Amino acid sequence: MICRPSGAITNFQPYLEKNPRPGDSWRNRYKSLCLHDPVWYDHMPYLPFPEDWPVFTPKDKMGDWLEAYASIMELNFWGATEATSAAFDPDSKTWTVHVTRDGKETVLHPRALVFATGAYGFARWVEFPGADTFKGEMFHTSAYQSGDQYRGKRCAVIGSGSSAHDICVDLWESGAEVTMIQRGSSIVVRSDTLMELGFGDLYSEAAVARGVTTDKADLIAASVPFRLIPDVQRPIYDQIADVDADFYRRLTDAGFQWDFGPDGSGLMSKAMRTASGYYIDVGASDLIANGEIRVASGAGIDRIEPDGLILEDGRRIGADVIVQATGYGFMDEMVAHLISPDVAEKIGRFWGYGSGVPGDPGPWEGELRNMWKPVAQEALWFHGGNLALSRFHSAHVALQIKARMEGIATPVYCAP
Ligand SMILES: Cc1cc2nc3c(=O)[nH]c(=O)nc-3n(C[C@H](O)[C@H](O)[C@H](O)COP(=O)(O)OP(=O)(O)OC[C@H]3O[C@@H](n4cnc5c(N)ncnc54)[C@H](O)[C@@H]3O)c2cc1C
């Protein structure tokens, strides 16, 4: 969370972070996590990764890079500082932000407040009927560290997004008996194929050799209007289905349900429209296809019993451990929590641009809802997304705030 102070414009811009060190949000994630996107897509603004950086960054390396970045860029980072509430005064046009810093209450009065609390809301915990009778361990993926202590245990992982796949592999590598519970179909694309057909033209070693740097690639990618993105993406996914026909046949045979989105336009379309996930396959899908990781697909959970789960179609999955890979809520939860439910309602949902597909809050705006632009609440900004979107749009947020501070008119597009 970034607070721009009131009064004279100074370099004093506290970056409030409830964890002690920059990068802890990565360090705190499960041990086996590596970025699923290649390095050319992940660079930070102004300070790209060194040339010998791995293609897929391990999560602690990412955390350490962020810590070094904060230091080199001289960010005024306030660690162990949690924002607990924020209110805007329309007369003085300032915020009152209450923060707890190292256990001490402090109040800030910035003129602009940026929520950079991630692309989602809180961890989504589902209260399944009968959960209180379960004799084993049950937790959300956000609390998962490693599979070390689950050797020989029957582990059921509820969900089929990225974290579900990664955690299934980690548990399997630790010697657990793993079942993924997949309620509905998921987007899965092999990493190698995506690198070649999806990222290749813009974000790859070959692209850099052709002079398409990450900065140029960002401009090219952003030049495609949302209305046209599905038409650009669909042929790529047709090709992926063709090239990897055997891979998808094996997944289907194993009982795993996959798709490329309601209109076949793939994973970035899905993320933009619904802020929901997919899996870029770095190994889990083969284990599913080979039956090493079992999959129980096509039904939700009816109830939990002392030693397992019962699916809506009556199937029984024995389990000593249940992992809820049920994702995260929406960003408006953060607004309701820190500011007020009224302001959250006034602003509305985040992500989506009115594509008409299920899960996109609509209506058609031609731009993403509420991201990196003025919202229905004055002096409030939202920044989030993957590393690539964050890299590209952070400058837009900063410039819009700066322009307002300098009194420069900044008319913005809005639906007629
Ligand atoms: C398991 C997993 C895998 C991912 N893999 C990738 C990937 O491969 N590539 C990719 O680009 N993205 C990936 N992402 C998305 C990833 O979250 C973002 O790319 C990146 O972390 C975004 O950085 P951020 O700073 O916007 O959000 P975050 O890293 O989520 O940081 C938000 C910060 O806000 C802090 N915060 C929240 N509330 C408060 C408060 N009230 N007061 C103070 N501080 C607060 C949190 O402690 C947190 O550190 C992944 C996410 C997850 C969960």
Q: How confident is the model at residue 41 (pLDDT cuts 50, 70, 90)?
A: very high
pLDDT one-digit tens code per residue, 387-398: 999 999 999 999
Residue 82 near ligand 1, beta carbon < 6 Å: yes
Ligand 1 touching residue 67 (CB < 6 A): no
Share of the chain above pLDDT 70, in %: 96
Distance 362 CA to ligand 1 centre (A): 25
Tell me what pLDDT residue 348 has. Answer: 93
d(CA 196, CA 350): 31
Asked if residue 363 has a cis previous peptide bond (ω within 30° of 0), the answer is yes
Please give the DSSP secondary-structure letter assigned to residue 256. Answer: -
Distance, in Å, from the CA atom of 190 to the CA atom of 195, rounded to the nearest integer, reads 9
Q: How far is the CA of 120 from the centre of ligand 1 (A)?
A: 8
Model's pTM, two decimal places? Answer: 0.92
Q: What is the pLDDT of residues 182-227, one digit of tens each?
A: 999 999 999 999 999 998 889 999 999 999 999 999 999 999 999 8
pLDDT single digits (tens) 267-301: 999 999 988 879 999 999 999 999 999 999 999 99
Please tell me the number of Cα atoms within 13 Å of 355 on its side-chain side. Answer: 26
Residue 10: its pLDDT value, please? 41
Least confident of 14-18, 78-82, 412-416: 412-416
Is 347 touching ligand 1 by the criterion CB < 6 Å? no
| 305 CA → ligand 1 middle, Å | 34
**Vertex 38 angle, CA 36 and 39, to 5°:** 125
Contacts of range 38-41, beta carbons closer than 8 Å, 24 or more positions apart: 38/195, 38/199, 38/203, 38/204, 40/199, 40/203, 40/204, 40/205, 40/207, 40/208, 40/214, 40/217, 41/199, 41/203, 41/214, 41/387, 41/388
Q: Could you tell me the end-to-end alpha-carbon distance of the chain, in angstroms, rounded to an integer? A: 32
**What does the angle CA 99 – CA 399 – CA 328 come to, to the nearest 5 degrees?**
50
Binned at pLDDT 50, 70 and 90, residue 248 comes out as very high
| Cα(62) to centroid(ligand 1), Å | 11
Q: Is the pLDDT of residue 30 over 60?
A: yes
Q: Does residue 394 line the site of ligand 1, with CB under 6 A?
A: no
Which amino acid residue places its CA nearest to atom 49 of ligand 1? Answer: 25
Q: Which residue out of 332, 387, 389 has the highest number of ligand 1 atoms within 8 Å of its CB and is therefore the one to mutate?
A: 387
pLDDT at 9: 38
Q: What is the pLDDT of residue 12?
A: 59
Task: Domains for the chain: give ranges and CATH numbers.
Answer: 2-22+75-122+329-405 (3.50.50), 131-184+298-324 (3.50.50.60), 186-288 (no CATH)
List, for residues 111-148, the tens digit of each pLDDT value: 999 999 998 999 999 999 999 999 999 999 999 999 99
Residue at token pair 């284990």:
287
Give the SS3 label for residue 365: coil
Kindly give the number of the ligand 1 atom that is closest to the alpha carbon of 390.
Answer: 26
What is the identity of the amino acid at 186? S
Tell me the average pLDDT across 29-45. Answer: 93
Q: Which atom of ligand 1 is nearest to the CA of 338?
A: 41
Taking the centre of ligand 1 as the mean of its atom positions, its distance from the CA of residue 384, in whole angstroms, is 8
Strands lying side by side in the sheet with 321-324 = 137-140, 321-324, 154-158, 177-182, 294-297
Q: What is the pLDDT of residues 253-276, one digit of tens each?
A: 999 999 999 999 999 999 999 888
Distance from the alpha carbon of residue 98 to the mean position of ligand 1, in angstroms: 22
